[in-house]
Chains A and B, each alone.
Chain A
Amino acid sequence: MGRPVRVIRIVQPVILVVLPAIMLLWAWLKLPSAALVTSVCACAGLVPFFVGFEKSRRRARDLMPVVILTALAVAGRLVFAPVPAIKPIIALVVMGGLCFGREEGFMVGALAMLVSNVFFGQGPWTPWQMFSMGLVGYLAGVLGSHGWLVRRWSVAVFGAAMALLYGFILDTWTFVGFVSNANAANVLTTYATGLATNAASAIGTVAFLLPIAHSWPRIFGRIKERYLT
């Protein structure tokens, strides 16, 4: 592993914190062109992860868990398209980060949103969706590597929290980018409108995670032992 990869690995968590902070600062100071700036920020936030993945020179085999989990997440979003808000994506992204590591988790999240938006329509939301879903996978990887996500309920609670975080970031982006004079009434209205969707998404994530929280890490452990060591 070369030096640039190590530098990129240090940059990654920093950028995950700095970018949402820039977004909030922009709204706080009421600077102009918030929609453009926040979108560019989200794109910039994806760079260290994609480049880090590129530079780490993984074997073709090691890419396959990410590919399969991403494909399953996209297929899940397609199958669940008629049901509003309840999607298995977050559950699968959490599993990806938990079982295969933080960078893999980020890639599952980011790629799942990128590819599924080919079917659902690319839009100004794509970069932020990729960034926030990637953040979910990254956090799952961090907590997983510290051994905090072993029990079924802790995984489920974490999944629900991540569903809420994902909704929170996207709602925040909505009013930072597209609402002038963000005051209490505006902000509350935005979050209140998103609340039903986010709550449903959190409940759905728990329902998907509970049955797989124990069995999937075992299955993946076996696959890792057999093929990926």
Chain B
Amino acid sequence: MAKGLFATYHPAVCMLFFLAAIGFAFSTQHPAYVALSCTVSGAYLVYLRGWRPFLRTMGTCIPPVVFVGLLNSLFNAAGATILWQWGPFCICVEGLWYGVAMGGMLTAVLLWFACYNEVMTEDKFTYLFGRRLPTVSLMVTMVSRWVPRMVSRGRSAHDSQEALIGGYDPSKKGKLQRGVRTATVLVGLGMEDSIQTADSMSARGYGSAMRTSYARFKWHARERVAIGALGVLIVANAALLATDAVAFAFYPLVSPIELSWGYATYALMLGMPFCVELERLRRPRHGSSYTGQPRTRVGVPDAKKMGGSAT
């Protein structure tokens, strides 16, 4: 479970928040908005996972950001202030600024995705889409189960074949042959095994009616408040950000950055994971809201145990 109260909110609230944060980060290269998005996403990632994972994420961001930044600033003749020119190649100050802003935008998006990965765990994703896309989420769940099984079975199939056939061939061709043989074994095994699973699922009534799912997340008053506030902020931001973004241009000259109310609403919207911590002030008696754990009732039987093992 990710740190902080925001991760304990209903997955729909978290999903809407991340969609908005990533969508807005993606939609503009206005330097002030990019800087805000970078700062808040970085702060949230540090809060969620600490400094070291934050620095590691930044490290993986560097190659694409540098690449995109360079592509935008080199070979770009749209700006007015030319630094260097050689034939068709041209570097201008405006292009450099655009490259920096685009790199910042990409950093912000990647940081938001890192936060998303921490907060929106797979169970929440399946919970959200399990009703609307039952077949697809069943498949995603089964694939996630089969991946580690494939890796471990592949290892044992590989080892036993080596023991049976003998004559280890260390060349690339030998490796490829062994890999292909293992994959063939895995496909055959997997198909037979999974079709048995499917049969036992059908025997227990899969597909005969709409499934009910074990509701781990509840829709409380705080969820209603959060989603209302988020909706208002999204609309306000869309309007303010669009006006600011249209007024701002990189070419031919970088426009001056003026103060705007949009910065405040944007910061408020992005700061939502921190704002919801105010909830702790409201109900000092509930021990559970201090721990950051989801408030689940004790004694509800585990859905997996009820269903039994299907394999």
Which residues of A line the B interface, CB within 8 A? 32-33, 35-36, 39, 50, 53-54, 57-61, 63-72, 74-76, 78-79, 88, 107, 111, 114-115, 118, 121-124, 174-175, 178-181, 183, 185-186, 189-190, 193, 207-208, 211-212, 215-216, 219, 223, 227
* Chain B residues near A35 (CB-CB < 8 A): 26-27, 105, 109
The reply to whether B68 and A179 contact each other, CB–CB distance below 8 Å, is yes
Is B161 engaged at the interface, CB distance under 8 Å to the other chain?
no
Q: Assess the A74–B176 pair: CB atoms within 8 A.
A: no
In the bound assembly, the distance between CA atoms of A69 and B300 in angstroms comes to 36
- The answer to whether B139 and A63 touch across the interface, beta carbons within 8 angstroms, is yes
- Would you call B139 and A67 a contact (CB within 8 A)? yes
B186-219 contacts to A, CB under 8 A, are 186-188, 190-192, 194-195, 197-199, 201-202, 206-207
Q: How far is the CA of A72 from the CA of B186 in the complex (A)?
A: 8
A157 to B293, CA, bound (A): 54
Cα distance A79–B151 when bound, in Å?
A: 8
Asked if residues A61 and B184 are in contact (CB atoms below 8 Å), the reply is no
Which residues does chain A contribute within 8 Å of B134, judged by CB atoms? 54
The residue in B28, B78, B149, B190 that gathers the most chain A C-beta atoms within 10 A of its C-beta is: B190
- Of the candidates B71, B72, B74, B183, which one forms a contact with A88 in the assembled complex, judged by CB atoms under 8 Å apart? B183
B110 at the interface (CB under 8 A from A): yes
Contact across chains for A124 and B26 when beta carbons are under 8 A apart: yes
18 contacting pairs across A/B (C-beta < 8 A):
A54-B133, A59-B202, A60-B199, A61-B198, A64-B197, A66-B139, A68-B146, A72-B190, A74-B147, A121-B113, A122-B113, A180-B72, A181-B76, A186-B71, A212-B183, A212-B184, A215-B184, A227-B195
Q: Is the interface of B mostly helix, strand, loop or mixed?
A: helix
**What per-residue 1/0 map shows which CB atoms of B139-180 lie under 8 Å from chain A?**
110111011011100100000000000000000000011001
**A74 CA to B135 CA, complexed, in Å:** 19
Assembly CA distance A58 to B61 (angstroms) = 41
Indicate if the CB atoms of B122 and A61 lie closer than 8 Å.
no
Point out the residue from B27, B180, B202 that lies within 8 Å of A36, measured CB to CB.
B27
Alpha-carbon separation in the docked complex, A37 to B191 (Å): 39
Residues of B contacting A115 with CB < 8 Å?
140, 143-144, 147
Q: Place the interface of chain B in its size category.
A: 35 or more
Give which listed residue, B60, B150, B198, contacts A64 with CB less than 8 A. Answer: B198
Q: Are B176 and A211 in contact (CB under 8 A)?
A: yes
Of A72, A181, A185, which one neighbours B78 at CB under 8 angstroms? Answer: A181
Instruction: Name the contact of B198 in the complex, choosing from A57, A63, A185 (C-beta under 8 A).
Output: A63
Q: Which of B22, B27, B122 contacts A33 (CB 8 A)?
A: B27
Of the candidates B133, B149, B180, B250, which one forms a contact with A50 in the assembled complex, judged by CB atoms under 8 Å apart?
B133
A60 touches B201 (CB 8 A): yes
B191→A61 contact, CB < 8 A: no
Does B44 lie at the interface of the complex (its beta carbon under 8 Å from any beta carbon of A)? no
Closest Cβ of chain B to A89, distance in Å, is 12
Residue of B74, B140, B183, B186 near A114 (CB, 8 A) is B140
Contact of A72 among B106, B187, B206 (CB under 8 A): B187
13 new A-B contacts at CB < 8 Å, known A35-B109, A70-B139: A35-B105, A36-B26, A50-B133, A59-B202, A63-B139, A75-B150, A79-B154, A107-B139, A121-B113, A121-B114, A124-B26, A180-B76, A185-B75
Tell me if A54 and B135 are in contact (CB < 8 A). Answer: yes
Whether B307 is near chain A, meaning CB under 8 Å from some CB there, is: no
A60 to B207, Cβ gap below 8 A? yes
A63–B72 CB distance below 8 A: no
Do the beta carbons of A183 and B75 come within 8 Å of each other?
Answer: yes
Chain A residues near B105 (CB-CB < 8 A)? 35
Note all chain B residues with C-beta closer than 8 A to A39.
26
Smallest CB separation, B62 vs chain A (Å): 14
Contact (Cβ within 8 A) A118 B122: yes
Shortest distance from the beta carbon of A225 to any chain B beta carbon, whole Å: 12
Q: Tell me if B143 and A70 are in contact (CB < 8 A).
A: yes
**Which of B28, B135, B192, B207 has the most CB atoms of chain A within a 10 A radius of its CB?**
B135
**CB neighbours of B23 from chain A (8 A):** 36
Answer yes or no: B138 CB below 8 A from chain A CBs: yes
Q: Name B114's closest neighbour in chain A (CB-CB).
A: A121
Other-chain contact of A180, B27, B78, B194 (Cβ < 8 Å): B78
Contact B78 A75 (CB under 8 A): no
B140 touching A111 by the CB < 8 A rule? yes
- A178 near B180 with CB under 8 A, answer no
Using Cβ atoms and an 8 Å threshold, which residues of chain B touch A175?
71
Residues in A whose Cβ lies below 8 Å from that of B186: 72, 75
Distance A22 CA – B287 CA, assembled complex (angstroms): 53
Given contacts A50-B136, A193-B67, contact A223 B191 (CB under 8 A): yes
B residues near A114, Cβ cutoff 8 Å: 140
B84 within 8 A of A: no
- Which residues of A are found within 8 Å of B139, using beta-carbon distances? 63, 66-67, 70, 107, 111
